[in-house]
A and B are shown apart, each in its own frame.
Chain A
Amino acid sequence: MSSATTGHGVSDALAAFIVAPHAGTWFERACDDACERYLRGSTAAARPGPLAASIAAALASFAGPAYVRALALGAAFAADPSLADGAATLAVALVAGEHDAGLDEGDAIAAIAVGREAERRVVAAVLDDAFARVWDVAAIGARFGAVAAAARLTALDAAQARTALGIAATQAAGTALARGTQAGALAGGKAAADALEAVALARHGFTAPAAPLEGRRGFAAVQATRFDPSAILAQLGTRWGA
């Protein structure tokens, strides 16, 4: 089989995309969209609502403040129809800003754009009726967007970004039955919080599979019935948000 059909190198390519410098008209357009989301998210983060408050209270003495905040914000955004698309990616970027006063807003916005692009492409590679029948597509996609944004904001190198991707991929979760419920929102929040953890582990030398997306027992093989590598690889970094 050729690499185009086996998808060999897809995880490497996505990791390289996550950490690469980006420029050009397509990227700028993606950043305009990301900026608009960032501003709406900032407003929403100031009054995240009762679900976020319950989550924050439940976990407060059990995990770090950024982890808890990302979970609460990610869940609140996932439950808000105007922010649900890309909720976890947005939560990661906002929490990074809250916990690092020196974070450049342009970097946060670029991370949202990169996260959304990674999420969109991974979902496009596996989505069909069979996938949507059993999985909460938004919660699963959120894992990839959130970890991409977190890896970029933490300035991981490509190898570390692939490790973080591997840690995130194995946690892709959320059943179709939970879609639109509290549990579905929580799955979005978990995607954001666990992305911060995955990036921290990758930074400190954790090891993960080389092909978490395309491997024989990886994300696509285990959780999907189809896998189209070109949905991830084609014009990656040159064409955005098609």
Chain B
Amino acid sequence: MQDVADRFARALVRAAGKPFDEPLDREAKRTLLNVLGLAIGAARHPGVDAIVAAAGDLGGPPLATIPGRIERIDPLGAALATGFAAHVDDFDDTHLATVIHPGAAALAVLVGLTPATAPTGAQALVAFALGCEAQLRAGVAISPEHYDRGWHITGTCGVVGGAVAAALLLELDEVALARALRLATTMTLGHRESFGTMVKAFHPGKAAANGISAALFARAGLDGPAGAFEARGGFGDALSSRFDAEQMLDGIGARWELLANTYKPYPCGIVAHPAIDAALALAPRAGAPVAIARIDVHCHPLVPELMGNPQPTDALEARFSAIHGVAAALCDGRVGLAQYETERVRRDDVRALRAKTALRPDGAIARDEARIELLLADGTRHEEHVLHARGSLARPLTDDELFEKFAGLVEPGLGAAAAPSLAAAVRTLERAPAFAALPAASIPRHAHV
């Protein structure tokens, strides 16, 4: 009898064999461009340094490159490093219905398996897109209960999508892919306790490495238990109080969750974005930060739940502080990576403004909505109401905005000429004879000393 893994594998392999229509092709490439930029931009993060040093200790075969770095390490280590870097700035793509960041693990599988599988550009694009789609469909089937329980869904579902991307690159058939999927259900990871530490970004990196491992074990003939997703004591039962197989399986190849992927304009948790939009709109009217007496941020209840830190002390903590994003917007008139550097986070002006800011959770406010009331010391009041955040589904980043973001991420490490040529390579990826050219072009030409 066919189980959910069998049916999922069959439908995914069929979808992989059909040409992508224009909207899917465009969204897959937008997702890839965005996440590649992030991986390059964070390549020198201390966490990536630690992963590269650990790979050195473990002594694996140095076969794989890492975007933005000059070292070669073992393929599973390179997948871990890439997925980590892609997610660590909390600036990667987000599928809002599940809160999955699918691009990081999918890119990490491509990076890890390129040396062994030498895919064409078209094969890599298909593996990337279906690796994302499989994560999102597994996520939809167990949401929102799964995340609410405390799981970091990017890790748990990342393993499922990672196995799919890896199996496609390894050119496994649907029978072997089903085995990889069943094996992946026993390699999940991701507690939300890790938020604010390097372990959060470890999740998509390790999900990719586990997905590759699951596909390699499946290729060797190993298998997981029948009914791995749907049976009592399986994936859905262990990870959620709900598992809807039809949501996972329905319309694969016809309806794409990936089309609902979004790209962040600000490098912090997405629930804070509408408040930052409102603060940026208010900044010209507010004038000098010292003249501000009080800031009330009316927001969705998830904002204090996920981003409630009122007074962060370093870069990583600031990414989980909606109040910092609002205060930095009002101080600097812009919110980019610079506003999340530790030195900026600790300065007196923004610290004082954070102390004047309060989150007012309100169940009547939508996830991509926020309203800020600003009281100046002279009694003047300003208000800004954002109905849909920039970068949300209702107001997606344009291709130009996305390229601007990409260029800002890759220029510091690779130089000004790299951004347009990498973006062009992504745009024409399906025509590239070898995907390997893209990771090769993501390596700095000169060692940074």
> Is A66 at the interface (CB under 8 A from chain B)?
yes
Task: List the interface of chain A (C-beta within 8 A of B).
Answer: 54-55, 57-59, 61-67, 133-136, 139, 166-167, 169-179, 181-184, 186-187, 190, 194, 196-197, 200-201, 203-209, 211-212, 215-219, 221-223
Tell me the complex Cα distance, A203–B58, Å. Answer: 12
Interfacial chain A residues near B194, Cβ < 8 Å: 166, 170, 208-209, 212
Is B191 touching A219 in the complex (CB atoms < 8 A)? yes
Residues of B within 8 A of A62 (CB): 60-61, 74-76, 112, 116, 212-213, 216
The answer to whether the Cβ of B398 comes within 8 Å of any Cβ in the partner chain is: no
- Given A63-B75, A135-B238, A170 and B203 touching (CB < 8 A)? yes
Nearest-CB residue, chain B, relative to A211: B193
Please report the C-alpha to C-alpha distance between residue A178 and residue B231 in the assembled complex, in whole angstroms: 11
A212 to B152, CA, bound (A): 14
B324 to chain A, nearest CB (A): 19
Q: 20 A–B contact pairs at CB < 8 A?
A: A54-B221, A58-B216, A61-B63, A62-B112, A62-B116, A64-B60, A67-B58, A67-B76, A136-B186, A170-B193, A170-B199, A175-B233, A181-B225, A186-B183, A204-B50, A206-B199, A207-B198, A207-B316, A209-B191, A218-B193
Q: Are B197 and A208 in contact (CB under 8 A)?
A: yes
Given known contacts A54-B221, A170-B202, A212 and B191 CB-to-CB distance under 8 angstroms: yes
Other A-B contacts than A64-B59, A207-B197, A212-B193, 6 sampled, CB-CB below 8 A, are A54-B222, A55-B217, A62-B216, A175-B238, A177-B233, A190-B213
Cα(A183)–Cα(B199), bound, Å:
25
* A204 adjacent to B186 (CB under 8 Å): no
Q: How many A-B residue pairs have CB under 8 A?
A: 206
Residue of A nearest to B46 (CB): A205
B116:A197 contact, CB within 8 angstroms: no
Docked CA distance A178–B187 (Å): 11
Q: Which residue of A lies closest to B215 (CB)?
A: A58
Interchain CB contact under 8 A, A206 and B198: yes
Query: Is there contact, CB below 8 Å, between B183 and A63?
Result: no
B220 interface residue per 8 A CB criterion: yes
User: Secondary structure at chain A's binding surface: helix, strand, loop or mixed?
Assistant: helix
In the complex, which residues 197-220 of chain B have their Cβ closer than 8 Å to any Cβ of chain A? 197-199, 202-203, 206, 210, 212-213, 216-217, 219-220
Q: How far is the CA of A138 from the CA of B427 in the complex (A)?
A: 48
Tell which of A134, A174, A218 has the most Cβ of chain B within 10 Å.
A134
Q: How far is the CA of A169 from the CA of B189 in the complex (A)?
A: 9
Are B59 and A65 in contact, CB atoms less than 8 angstroms apart? Answer: yes
Task: Give chain B interface residues in 57-106, CB to chain A under 8 Å.
Answer: 57-61, 63, 74-77
Quick one: given A64-B59, A166-B199, A177-B231, are A187 and B54 in contact (CB under 8 Å)?
A: no
State how many angstroms separate the Cβ of A33 from the closest Cβ of chain B: 28
B270 CB to nearest chain A CB (Å): 18
**Residue among B224, B237, B316 making CB contact with A181, cutoff 8 Å:** B224
Q: Which residue of B lies closest to A216 (CB)?
A: B193
In Å, the complex CA distance between A153 and B210 comes to 25
Residues of B within 8 A of A200 (CB): 53-54, 57-58
B189's nearest neighbour on chain A, judged by CB, is A171
For residue B51, CB closer than 8 A to chain A, the reply is yes
Say whether B193 contacts A201, CB under 8 Å.
Answer: no
Query: Is A204 in contact with B61, judged by CB distance below 8 angstroms?
Result: no
In angstroms, Cα B51 to Cα A205, docked, is 9
Report Cα–Cα, A206/B202, bound state, in Å: 10
Residues of A within 8 Å of B31, CB to CB, are none
The 5 closest A-B pairs by CB, nearest first: A64-B58, A176-B233, A200-B54, A64-B60, A183-B224
Measured between beta carbons, the chain A residues less than 8 angstroms from B233 are 133-134, 175-177, 179
Q: For residue B18, which residues in chain A have a CB less than 8 angstroms away from its CB?
A: none
With a CB–CB cut-off of 8 A, which chain A residues contact B213?
59, 62, 190
A38 to B257, CA, bound (A): 50
A72 to B329 alpha-carbon distance, docked (Å)? 52
Measured CB to CB, the closest approach of chain B to A50, in angstroms, equals 10
Determine the distance from Cα of A178 to Cα of B188 in the docked complex, in whole angstroms. Answer: 13
Check B232–A64 contact: CB distance below 8 A.
Answer: no
- Is A217 a contact partner of B58 (Cβ separation < 8 A)? no
Cβ contacts under 8 Å, B316 to chain A: 207
Expressed in whole angstroms, the Cα–Cα distance for A208 and B228 within the complex equals 30
Which residue of the partner chain B has the closest CB to A170?
A: B191
Report if A58-B186 is in contact (Cβ < 8 Å); known contacts: A64-B60, A177-B228, A216-B193.
Answer: no
